[in-house]
Structure 1
Amino acid sequence: MFSAIADFLRLARAGYVLARHDALLPAEFAHLAPAPVRLAGALMRVGARRRANGRALRPGERLAAAFERLGPAYVKLGQFLATRPDIIGFELADDLGRLQDRMPPFSRDAAAREIEAAFGAPLESLFAEFSDSIAAASIAQVHRARLKTGETVAVKVLRPRIERIAAREFRAFARAARLLEAVSQSARRLEPVKFVETLKATAAIELDLRMEAGAASILAEDLKDAAGIRVPQVVWPLTARRVLTLEWAGGIPVSDLAGLDAAGVDRKALAVTVIRMFLTQALHKGFFHADMHQGNMMVDAEGRLVLVDFGIMGRLDEKTRRVFAEIIHGFITRNYQRTAEVHFEAGYVPAGHSVDAFAQALRAVGEPLFGKTADKVDMSRVLQQLFDVTALFDMRLRPELVLLQRTMVTVEGVARALDPGIDMWAAARPVVKSYVEGAVGLPQQARRLRAAAARALELAPRLPHYAERLGAAAERVAAGRVELAPETVDALARALSRERRRARGALVFAGLAALILAAAVWLS
């Protein structure tokens, strides 16, 4: 009972903050709602903050501002939604992707207590020096410190009680999601309960700094032979669940163009390095930094590009990497027919569609890009066009590919800022070409053939059993006794119902509003 009341109060506060930013029932989506909802939205918009710096804010910008005000769980919600432009639309995802994860710092003494509890020793025995916070976010903050051996390090410390705070917010999310599924069939198709569970699991990983340490260690190993790139080493003896210690990554932020110029950094070469480093991670290693904005990259005194903050990482299996490389290679070589065929071979586009028509659509997106420098190409617009094509051909994107595409846009933005005249395709070509040649070459083909043969030998003893089951299934089909599972029926219904992308964006706001208002009514 008490937890239900507490959840109601949290949801009511969230509803109030969202309404104050006109992010609960935004005016831009009012025409899609029934009359009573439009009236409620109009009342909520009275006195709402719709402008900043002398201009009107977009719905996504207002939603991001509300999430920042609401704290860690909502910041994570916004970041998670930003990785799904295929669902919420690219403009909304782009706005949420710029969500600023900034919070007031907690005290040095509080950080010291967390560190001492983690290692069972006084702070003075672990570090020769330990500064106040130099950067604070919703989940953790960073301190500069010096080891007893003299090395300078960065120490990341989780916020006190952050796990309990996040658990309370996610409990409220889950309660509202269950209620939403109970009262709305349309909401059930969006699987809000599953969404909240996934969000909670993602946050749990970020709340264990050993996972981030592991990611940093893997990336450092993957890029150890890459010229001009450095990943800070993990100081494992001073790393625990709530504390992460890394080699200090001092340098000039890539956003400081004047500082880079003053230091004599070749910005054009640096822009190419940024592009190729990302593609090397994604294609050759299958493990990539998925938060490569300007704040997470700097140039050290030796001119090397340094990566920091490894809380959000992406993975691609070998098949996905091969498909992705062939798709990019097809665009670079303007072989749209092969690019289309790869999509169909991978199962990304349903077989009922025309390969030629899909190739034609890809050509319409790709051809305008050639011969243009980065300052003449809006990659956000290009990706929006690609997502429009995927909707037209009923293409359901895999989450890891959507994360990859979003990271590509971020990386492109960093490279464009460094060198507005960069030719993205020319920068990418050597990395993509080398991977494609290796992936489809004879050694790789032979290795895959050996793996397939070994798998076939494993399955051979079970073939008679599979044959019996296949025969029984064929008899049921012939007798008309085939029943579809509810999940299959839902999937077919979704395939037959194409929603416009704008309506998908509206669903995010409608879902938030319904989630909060329905929970409030039920709990009261």
Structure 2
Amino acid sequence: MAGTLRTLSRLLRITRVLGRHDALFLLEDVPVASTMVSLTRRIFRRTEDGRPGQRLARALIELGPTFIKLGQALSTRPDLVGDEVAADLADLQDKLQPFPFPQVREIIEAEFGCPLEDLYQSFDETPVAAASIAQVHFAITADGQPVAVKVLRPGIEQAIADDVEMFNWLARTAERLHPDARRFRPVESVATFEESVTLEMDLRFEAASAAELAENFADDPTFRVPSIDWVRTGQRVMTQERITGLSLDERDGIIAMGLNPNEVLGNAARAFFTMVFRDGFFHADLHPGNLFVDATGTIIAVDFGIMGRVNESDRRALGEMLLGFLTRDYRRVAEVQFRAGWVPPDQSIEAFTQAARSIAEPIFGKPIEEISMARVLSQLFEITRRFDIPAQPQLLLLEKSMLLAEGVGRTLAPDQNMWEMTYPLIEDWMRTTFGPEARIRNAALGLARSAERLPAIFEYADKAAAMISSGGLKLHPDTVKALARQQSPTPRKRTLMMQGLPWLLVGILGTLLYLR
């Protein structure tokens, strides 16, 4: 009872903030909430103008860290909030007032069990960035290395846990009172959100993501990730190599360094393509504050709290779909989505083809530099309600990343289109990964792996044979009866079966023992 009253009290405060910003518009079409929205608008006078998404972003900032993260999550769900609101939320500034240095010192010393001075010979008390989850300070380690130190906000874990508990209550209530909401999987979406922010609150996971991305690009001189100082990294503190460079949207400064913006954009496009299609592991928060370029033209990424993964089958579907759009083969776009299982099989492939055409043709009538593949995918996801397509969270996160990357690209080189740059890369990747040569190569690798297992399988087969001869392997009586009920074979076949059955059982058991 006390928990429910606490939840209702917090909901009242949230409603008041959202109402003051006129940001309750997402609930207007929900029957059980429409009356509340109307009443709230009468009580609270709107204090600011702007697009609905901008007003919602300001309200979420006022509500604090969890709601900022919620806004970032909603920016990946145009199927829920619409394309325009999703785009506005993608620009949500993850900035808050910094917390004082004495708390920073306390957190670091509690994490490592020693004075701060034992770890760093100097430590800037004023943070260079203060976000919803953590803030960053520059420092120099005890052995003289310049680093950036990320420190979690005090009490952030409990604050987010309380808010997630409320989100779960709201999601369950929505599914119970509004059955149509189940298509959007609110309970599952909250669980995904909870998993994401929980990972963000353990900086060791972020450090591991940075290390994995660095390994993936170890041989690429055009893209790199700052190294992790694992000695000074823990659950609530992460220490990373300090980098120097210009933000990727500082076009004039990049030109002043003697770099060609088109070449820099080409490096960025190739890096994004490599993350998604080669590795299936990508940086999902590619705003200008997280992307820098140094004097050599190398792109440097920071902040690995939000990462995405795309499995091989989804990568193939995405590659085919992008090629289909770029070549205006809309039937191919439709077939890819049906084959991937993203569109229910009872829907019309012809109707879906026409929907894809209706979205893309107006866009492709524009000059190449104005074409937005992210917008094409975004609008394609908008038709999910019409075709009863369930949301694909991993693709929505990728769409958000594409939007952010595209925005940076347009600022850096307005006359270029980064997706046009990736066209030959996608084409080559599709051919080398899924073409005839790749199928032969994969088959050969499969046979080689099977051959490697044969000695172990034979070894375990010997053990299985010994079990049979010693009476250690017995069939269940029900299995014996079931075998007896089968149609009797001819005498010749019966003889062959009886001769071969023990060795078949030996082989199966040996394989199972090996795989165990």
TM bracket (short chain) = 0.7 to 0.9
- SS state at 2:127 partner: strand
Q: Structure 1 stretch 160-169 or stretch 113-122: which is displaced more?
A: 160-169
1:118 pairs, out of 111, 116, 123, with 111
1:254 pairs with 2:252: no
Letter in 2 for 1:295: G
User: CA–CA distance in 2 between the matches of 1:321 and 1:67?
Assistant: 33
User: CA–CA distance in 2 between the matches of 1:31 and 1:193?
Assistant: 17
Letter in 1 for 2:63: L
Letter in 1 for 2:14: A
1:48 pairs, out of 46, 49, 54, with 46
1:385 pairs with 2:379: yes
Within 5 Å, which residues of 2 pair with 1:155-194? 155-181=149-175, 183-186=177-180, 190-194=184-188
User: CA–CA distance in 1 between the matches of 2:314 and 2:197?
Assistant: 25
1:398 pairs, out of 364, 385, 392, with 392
Determine the structure 2 residue equivalent to 1:108. 101
User: CA–CA distance in 2 between the matches of 1:341 and 1:184?
Assistant: 33
Determine the structure 1 residue equivalent to 2:440. 446
Superposed displacement of residue 389, structure 1: 4.5
Distance 1:30-1:204 versus aligned 2 partners, 3 A rule: closer
Superposed displacement of residue 366, structure 1: 3.7
Within 5 Å, which residues of 2 pair with 1:118-267? 118-131=111-124, 132-181=126-175, 183-186=177-180, 190-267=184-261
Superposed displacement of residue 448, structure 1: 4.9
User: CA–CA distance in 1 between the matches of 2:274 and 2:324?
Assistant: 18
Distance 1:42-1:18 versus aligned 2 partners, 3 A rule: closer
Letter in 2 for 1:61: Q
Letter in 2 for 1:67: L
User: CA–CA distance in 1 between the matches of 2:110 and 2:30?
Assistant: 55
The structure having more radius of gyration, on CA atoms, is 2
Letter in 1 for 2:10: R
1:74 pairs with 2:67: yes
Superposed displacement of residue 363, structure 1: 3.7
Distance 1:279-1:373 versus aligned 2 partners, 3 A rule: farther
For normalisation by structure 1, the TM-score amounts to 0.79
Q: Structure 1 stretch 293-302 or stretch 275-284: which is displaced more?
A: 293-302
Distance 1:340-1:39 versus aligned 2 partners, 3 A rule: closer
User: CA–CA distance in 1 between the matches of 2:40 and 2:368?
Assistant: 41
Alpha-carbon contact 1:235-1:247 (below 8 Å) kept: yes
- SS state at 2:128 partner: strand
Alpha-carbon contact 2:330-2:353 (below 8 Å) kept: yes
1:285 pairs, out of 260, 279, 282, with 279
Determine the structure 2 residue equivalent to 1:321. 315
Distance 1:5-1:369 versus aligned 2 partners, 3 A rule: closer
Letter in 2 for 1:23: A
User: CA–CA distance in 1 between the matches of 2:77 and 2:38?
Assistant: 30
1:92 pairs with 2:85: yes
Superposed displacement of residue 296, structure 1: 0.7
- SS state at 1:382 partner: helix
Determine the structure 1 residue equivalent to 2:467. none
- SS state at 2:55 partner: helix
Distance 1:110-1:357 versus aligned 2 partners, 3 A rule: same
Superposed displacement of residue 385, structure 1: 3.3
Alpha-carbon contact 2:227-2:240 (below 8 Å) kept: yes
Letter in 1 for 2:88: D
Letter in 2 for 1:87: L
Distance 1:24-1:356 versus aligned 2 partners, 3 A rule: closer
Distance 1:128-1:373 versus aligned 2 partners, 3 A rule: farther
Distance 1:188-1:398 versus aligned 2 partners, 3 A rule: closer
Determine the structure 1 residue equivalent to 2:300. 306
Superposed displacement of residue 417, structure 1: 0.9
Letter in 2 for 1:130: F
User: CA–CA distance in 1 between the matches of 2:96 and 2:360?
Assistant: 41
Alpha-carbon contact 1:210-1:244 (below 8 Å) kept: yes
Superposed displacement of residue 180, structure 1: 4.6
Superposed displacement of residue 361, structure 1: 3.7
1:149-205, CA deviations, whole angstroms, 9 ceiling, x for partnerless residues? 221111100011111121222233334444455555455665544433332222111
User: CA–CA distance in 1 between the matches of 2:158 and 2:363?
Assistant: 49
Superposed displacement of residue 239, structure 1: 0.8
Alpha-carbon contact 2:83-2:379 (below 8 Å) kept: no
Alpha-carbon contact 1:374-1:420 (below 8 Å) kept: no
* Unaligned 5+ runs, structure 2: 454-478, 483-516
Alpha-carbon contact 1:10-1:169 (below 8 Å) kept: no
Alpha-carbon contact 1:272-1:415 (below 8 Å) kept: no
Alpha-carbon contact 2:94-2:131 (below 8 Å) kept: yes
1:359 pairs, out of 347, 350, 353, with 353
Distance 1:35-1:239 versus aligned 2 partners, 3 A rule: closer
User: CA–CA distance in 2 between the matches of 1:137 and 1:36?
Assistant: 36
Determine the structure 1 residue equivalent to 2:505. none
Higher relative CO (Cα under 8 Å, sequence separation at least 6) belongs to: 1
User: CA–CA distance in 1 between the matches of 2:174 and 2:437?
Assistant: 53
Alpha-carbon contact 1:286-1:317 (below 8 Å) kept: yes
Superposed displacement of residue 100, structure 1: 1.3
1:4-62, CA deviations, whole angstroms, 9 ceiling, x for partnerless residues? 44333322211111111111257x94898898446414313x422231xxxxx122211
Superposed displacement of residue 207, structure 1: 0.5
Letter in 2 for 1:10: R
Determine the structure 1 residue equivalent to 2:492. none
Letter in 1 for 2:111: A
Letter in 1 for 2:280: G
Q: Structure 1 stretch 315-324 or stretch 344-353: which is displaced more?
A: 344-353
| Count of residue correspondences | 452
Alpha-carbon contact 1:209-1:242 (below 8 Å) kept: yes
- SS state at 1:128 partner: strand
Alpha-carbon contact 1:325-1:436 (below 8 Å) kept: yes
User: CA–CA distance in 2 between the matches of 1:368 and 1:35?
Assistant: 35
Determine the structure 1 residue equivalent to 2:12. 12
1:334 pairs with 2:328: yes
Alpha-carbon contact 2:280-2:311 (below 8 Å) kept: yes
* Unaligned 5+ runs, structure 1: 52-56, 458-464, 469-524
User: CA–CA distance in 1 between the matches of 2:258 and 2:348?
Assistant: 52
User: CA–CA distance in 2 between the matches of 1:401 and 1:86?
Assistant: 12
Alpha-carbon contact 1:271-1:416 (below 8 Å) kept: no
Q: Structure 1 stretch 359-368 or stretch 436-445: which is displaced more?
A: 359-368
Superposed displacement of residue 78, structure 1: 1.2
Distance 1:13-1:119 versus aligned 2 partners, 3 A rule: same
User: CA–CA distance in 1 between the matches of 2:358 and 2:148?
Assistant: 48
